[in-house]
Amino acid sequence: MSKFAILAQPQKTDMGRAVHSLLYARQLHEAGHDVALYYDGEGTTWIGQFEDPSFKYHDLYRAVLGAGVIAGACTYCASVFGAREAVAASPVPFVDHDQGHPSIARLVGEGRTIITI
């Protein structure tokens, strides 16, 4: 089993990257890998969209969330990109490894291969 960290940074208009972050996390998890998905940068804005039950990919999001694969959202970026309230209302935790951001060094130190989307 390998360890991965996916850092998802899709812009608000980049549904392809946002959805693929979930697909890749699900695929790795289902293959038995240890995967942690983080929403960073403008990617934090997608959590509110995914939480909407009428959103086309809500069920995929809930499945990945239920598998315990979504590790968190960047605290700093959620604030900067106006997603703080939506993240706080969701079950996705805030991540504050390094001045409000996830720490690449920490994730690599855990033996994780970093994937950015």
- DSSP 8-state code for residue 76: H
Please report, for residues 70, 103, 111, the alpha-carbon distance to residue 107 in angstroms, rounded to integers and kept in the order given. 14, 6, 7
Each residue's pLDDT tens digit, 73-117 = 999 999 999 999 999 999 999 999 999 999 999 999 999 999 999
- Report pLDDT digits (tens) over 25-62: 999 999 999 999 999 999 999 999 999 999 999 999 99
Please give the pLDDT value at position 30.
98
Instruction: Give me the domains of the chain, ranges plus CATH numbers.
Output: 3-116 (3.40.1260.10)
Please name the helix (run of DSSP H) or strand (run of DSSP E) that holds residue 70, with its range, or none.
strand 70-74
Q: What is the 3-state secondary structure (H, E, C) of 6-24?
A: EEECCCCCCHHHHHHHHHH
Mean pLDDT of the chain: 97
Question: What is the per-residue pLDDT for 106?
Answer: 97
